[in-house]
């Protein structure tokens, strides 16, 4: 069985709840829920949240809710994933789709692509959506030292560089105890991973008005959610 879990923390330090920002009249979390619920390859959808309003929206959209206490930064997203999977505790659970409540740049098609990789390639244990660096490549990164500009890296990077776009991660349940989920950047240590490379720059989490504008553009214009498997 394939299960999707959408992670949506409530507001922090008096800030607005990002997951509830309205995009075309719908709360931001609606889009990730809609992609998961609408995916024919996903049998159940959970929303992991500490926020009552978010939980009510999830229930209204046919999702089950994992009620959890506020997780501190020291626990991190990786541990939240492990706790949520262990909470579900279904014997027939095979694959977990990990989504974010404040990232609308995901589709049912992309979720199916990720699950299909695991279905057709037994050696693969995880799949993430990424974009390939262009002018955001580390070779362009600079720092400031005593009013002088210096390159962040002393030597150029000759390899292609990819960024996890935060839209999709799919894992086999068997790796839920992997050490990657103890890391702050858990996605950077996933084992036996396949990249789904999407057009630059997709999958941006919403944190400000700029992110909202990009999200609105994507929802209105991304008619086909294309990706290249590598």
Q: Is 40 helix (H, G, I), strand (E, B) or coil?
A: coil
Beta strand residue intervals within the chain, DSSP E? 2-8, 22-23, 26-27, 44-49, 64-67, 95-100, 126-132, 142-145, 148-151, 162-172, 193-198, 228-229
Whether 52 is in a domain gets the answer yes
Report, as ranges of residue numbers, the positions in the chain whose pLDDT lies below 70: 12-15, 69-75
- Is 144 a domain residue? no
pTM of the model: 0.92
The whole-number pLDDT of residue 71 equals 47
Return the CATH number at 210.
Answer: 3.90.550.10
Query: What is the Cα Rg of the chain in Å?
Result: 18
pLDDT for res 73 = 45
59-104 pLDDT, tens digit each:
999 999 998 764 444 468 899 999 999 999 888 999 999 999 999 9
Per-residue pLDDT, 222: 79
**By three-state DSSP, how is residue 164 classified?**
strand
- Predicted confidence at residue 14, as pLDDT, reads 56
**152 within some domain:** no
Residue that has been written with the tokens 């541990």 in this structure: 79
Cα distances from 97 to residues 75, 148, 209, in angstroms, run: 20, 45, 27
Q: Please give the residue range of the domain that contains residue 78.
A: 2-131+161-229
pLDDT at 123: 97
Report the pLDDT value the prediction gives residue 176, as an integer from 0 to 100.
96
Q: Are 128 and 169 in contact (CB under 8 A)?
A: yes
* Separation of alpha carbons 204 and 222, rounded Å: 14
User: What's the pLDDT score for residue 12?
Assistant: 63
Residue 150 lies in a domain: no
Confidence (pLDDT) at 9:
85
Does 140 fall in a domain?
Answer: no
CA dihedral of residues 76, 199, 20, 107 (deg, nearest 10) = -100
pLDDT in tens, 58-70: 999 999 999 876 4
Q: Residue 198: inside a domain, yes or no?
A: yes
Residue 145 lies in a domain: no
d(CA 119, CA 130): 20
pLDDT at 63: 96
Residue 149 lies in a domain: no
| pLDDT at 74 (0 to 100) | 47
Q: Which of 87, 81, 42 is nearest to 189 (CA)?
A: 81
Q: Where are the beta strands (DSSP E) in 32-155?
A: 44-49, 64-67, 95-100, 126-132, 142-145, 148-151
Domain count along the chain = 1
């Amino acid at each position: 069985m394939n299960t999707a879990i959408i992670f949506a923390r409530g507001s922090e330090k008096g800030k607005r709840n990002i997951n509830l920002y309205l995009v075309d009249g719908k709360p931001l979390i609606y889009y990730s829920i809609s992609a998961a619920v609408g995916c024919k390859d996903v049998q159940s959808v959970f929303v992991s949240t500490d926020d009552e309003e978010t939980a009510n929206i999830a229930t209204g959209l046919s999702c089950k809710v994992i009620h959890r206490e506020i997780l501190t930064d020291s626990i991190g997203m990786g541990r939240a994933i492990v706790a949520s999977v262990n909470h579900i505790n279904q014997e027939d659970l095979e694959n977990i789709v990990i989504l974010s409540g404040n990232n609308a740049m995901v589709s049912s098609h992309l979720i199916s692509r990720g699950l299909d990789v695991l279905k057709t390639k037994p050696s693969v244990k995880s799949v993430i959506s990424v974009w390939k660096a262009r002018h955001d490549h580390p070779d362009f990164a600079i720092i400031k030292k005593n009013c002088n500009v210096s390159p962040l890296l002393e030597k150029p990077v000759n390899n292609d560089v990819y960024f996890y776009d935060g839209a999709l991660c799919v894992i086999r349940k068997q790796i839920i105890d992997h050490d990657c989920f103890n890391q702050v950047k858990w996605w950077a240590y996933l084992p036996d991973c396949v990249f789904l490379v999407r057009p630059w720059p997709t999958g941006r989490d919403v944190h400000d008005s700029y992110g909202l504008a990009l999200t609105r553009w994507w929802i209105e214009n991304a008619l086909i959610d294309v990706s290249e498997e590598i």
